[in-house]
Chains A and B, each alone.
Chain A
Amino acid sequence: MSKAIIRLAVPDMILSPAPQGSAATATFRVEALHKSFGADPVLKGINLSVQRSEMVFVLGPSGSGKSTMLRCCNRLEEPDAGEIFIQGDRLTGPGVDLNKMRQRIGIVFQSFNLYPHLSALGNVTLALRKVQKMPREKARVAGLEALDRVGLSDRARHYPSQLSGGQQQRVAIARALALNPTVMLFDEPTSALDPELVGDVLDVMRDMKRQGMTMVVVSHEMKFARDAADRVIFMDDGLIVEEGPPEQIFGDPQHNRTRAFLSRFHE
């Protein structure tokens, strides 16, 4: 399986860490994001700028608001306040064509959420055909191409129930990739996987990074974060507590809460 991934021709142009640009040049930007569930504040003002081709890793204890933050980024969860920009276009506020904007933001879920009644190819091409109105044959080619990027073009006719968890998650990634998104969000993409299947999914993500995809990843894969992330963000209690390059966050965390959280993973 991983062979299929490695065989991809990869442009080597973006192997160096992405530059830390300013908010103004950010590909994806979140400003003063607030969200409460009932009387319970979950996000208390999140600011986040992601540069082009940057992989930002979001860490934090459960209940810290990581997933909610991610789900607010494409308004699956409606933020109470705050603004979201993608390449300078505003995603929040009235009059936004949300369905159009969402095609620029791919999201991968913890539980894959593949459509069980459609084949792998059907999953990948549904939005191409029904939203982008691509003709069947063109969608098929684009879909196979997306499946090829995750090393699963030979599984196009398989239904989700015939695929392993790792394969299902890769199909889910292909489904998002097929729309050529500007940024990809990952919501604990490997948490529901058996340990031996995690590697394939991480390989695909590493590959995407190499090809220059802009990514925000919520995950507990510390080793992967250390290897692949350009920047690590530590969230707690609805706020970003600390952020920096992985060497700094893992090697020399400045904040007590970050230290306490990371120590639990070093045992």
Chain B
Amino acid sequence: MERFIDTFFNAAVLARYAPAILEGALVTVLLSLLIVMAGTVLGSGLACLRAYRIKPVSILIVVFADMLRALPPLVLILLAFFGLPNVGIVLSSFMVLFVVLTLVLAAFAEEIVWAGITATPKGQWEAARSTGLSFTRALIFVVLPQAVRMVIPPLTNRAIAITKMTALGMVIGVPDILGQATTAQSFSANASPLTLAAIAYVILFLPFVIASRWLEARFAPPAA
């Protein structure tokens, strides 16, 4: 028992590396916020673009969405981080993680929002168009608000899943929570920093998980 506590809850180690984990937490929060904002905006934008049903554009969007949903994000992160410099594009590890996860979230968000757009009744389009709204205005002011409301629960779940993947940044040296924790773990030869990391993740993500439950209830389709 003593050995267990010393391994996971070593007080001295905990105290020494808490500031580093806190710094890591800031990086994780910043990355997560940026990814969620950029990913949902980009994904919704692509879904809107797809609504115009221009064949070549739609095909490109579908290929993009399917590729990014099929590939493990870690593969993309490694490819981008170790591959891109060879063609003259040097991005920081932070930037690589941000770009890759944003694109992955955008791919999922595109599919989710698109599902919402196609699920919006045809009569909504007709009502909007019959009062003189152009296709674009009908999309922006009538269809998209309804589509987004409809898909908020799956979108929130996906956003949480993707932001948790910021932990993958560790493999390319992003100083996020897990990055800081593994560094601390190798210096201290003790697993306590990883415990700290786990605690930090719970503190950060639990509110989002609870919020998603609330959102799910709030935006649930009205029980007819």
Which residues of A come within 8 Å of B, CB atoms?
Answer: 74, 76, 99-100, 102-103, 105-107, 109, 111, 113-117, 126-127, 130-131, 161, 172, 175-176, 179
For the complex of A and B, 4 pairs with smallest distance between CB atoms = A113-B127, A127-B131, A113-B123, A103-B132
Contact B137 A131 (CB under 8 A): yes
Among B121, B126, B128, B132, point to the contact of A100 (Cβ < 8 A).
Answer: B132
- Total cross-chain contacts (CB, 8 A): 61
Q: Are A76 and B126 in contact (CB under 8 A)?
A: yes
Contact with A along B177-221 (1 / 0, CB 8 A): 000000000000000000000000000000000000000000000
B-to-A contact residues, CB < 8 Å: 121, 123-124, 126-134, 137, 141-142, 145-146, 149, 222
Q: Are B222 and A161 in contact (CB under 8 A)?
A: yes
Q: Which residues of B contact A117 (CB under 8 A)?
A: 145-146, 149
If A115-B142, A161-B222 touch, whether A127 touches B124 (CB-CB below 8 Å) is no
B124 partner, pick from A103, A115, A131, beta carbons under 8 A: A115
Given contacts A113-B121, A117-B145, contact A102 B127 (CB under 8 A): no
Name B142's closest neighbour in chain A (CB-CB): A115
B126 touches A102 (CB 8 A): no
A117–B145 alpha-carbon span in the complex (Å):
7
Q: Report the Cα distance A117→B137, complex, angstroms.
A: 15
| A-B residue pairs in contact (CB < 8 Å), sample of 15 | A74-B130, A76-B130, A100-B132, A102-B129, A103-B132, A106-B131, A111-B123, A116-B146, A126-B131, A126-B141, A126-B142, A127-B131, A127-B132, A176-B130, A179-B131
Q: Chain A residues with Cβ under 8 A from B146's Cβ? A: 115-117
**CB-based contact B126/A127 at 8 Å:** no
Chain B CB count within 10 A is highest, among A100, A102, A130, for: A130
B161 to chain A, nearest CB (A): 27
Chain B residue nearest to A126 in the complex (CB): B141
Residues in A neighbouring B124, C-beta threshold 8 A: 113, 115
The answer to whether B131 touches A176, judged by C-beta atoms less than 8 angstroms apart, is yes
A76 touches B129 (CB 8 A): yes
Q: How long is the Cα–Cα vector from A97 to B145 in the complex, in angstroms?
A: 26
Measured CB to CB, the closest approach of chain A to B201, in angstroms, equals 35
Chain A residues with CB under 8 Å of B145's CB are 117
B222 near A102: Cβ-Cβ < 8 Å: no
Chain A residue contacts of B123, Cβ below 8 A: 109, 111, 113
| Cβ–Cβ contact A179 & B142, under 8 A | no
Q: Which residues of B contact A131 (CB under 8 A)?
A: 131-133, 137
* A115 and chain B: residue at smallest CB distance: B142
Tell me, in angstroms, the Cα distance from A247 to B65 when the chains sit together: 63
Does A130 contact B137, Cβ atoms closer than 8 Å? yes
Closest to A116 in B: B146
Using Cβ atoms and an 8 Å threshold, which residues of chain A touch B129? 76, 99, 102
**Shortest Cβ gap from B13 to chain A (Å):** 52
Across the interface, A127 reaches (CB within 8 A) one of B121, B133, B149, B222, namely B133
Q: Is the CB of B130 within 8 A of A102?
A: yes
Query: Given contacts A74-B130, A111-B123, A115-B127, could you give 19 more A-B pairs where the C-beta distance is less than 8 Å?
Result: A99-B129, A99-B133, A102-B129, A102-B131, A103-B131, A106-B131, A109-B127, A113-B127, A115-B128, A115-B146, A117-B145, A126-B128, A126-B133, A127-B132, A127-B133, A131-B133, A172-B127, A176-B130, A179-B131
B141 touches A130 (CB 8 A): yes
> Which residue of chain A has the shortest Cβ distance to B146 in the bound complex?
A117
Given contacts A103-B132, A131-B131, contact A109 B126 (CB under 8 A): yes
Q: Which of B131, B137, B141, B149 contacts A175 (CB under 8 A)? A: B131
The docked-state distance in angstroms from the alpha carbon of A113 to that of B143 is 12
- CB contact under 8 A between A107 and B142, given known A113-B124, A115-B124: no
Q: A117-B145, A126-B142 are in contact. Are A99 and B126 (CB under 8 A)?
A: no
Cβ–Cβ < 8 Å partners of B121 in chain A:
113
State how many angstroms separate the Cβ of B89 from the closest Cβ of chain A: 42
Closest residue of B by beta carbon distance from A97: B132
Min CB–CB distance A223 → chain B (angstroms): 27
Interface centre among B132, B149, B222 (most CB of A within 10 A): B132
The reply to whether B142 and A102 contact each other, CB–CB distance below 8 Å, is no
How far apart are B105's CB and chain A's nearest CB, in angstroms?
24
- Which residues of chain A come closer than 8 Å to B131, judged between CB atoms? 102-103, 106, 126-127, 131, 175-176, 179
**Cβ of B140 to closest chain A Cβ, rounded Å:** 9
Query: Nearest chain-B residue to A129 (Cβ)?
Result: B141
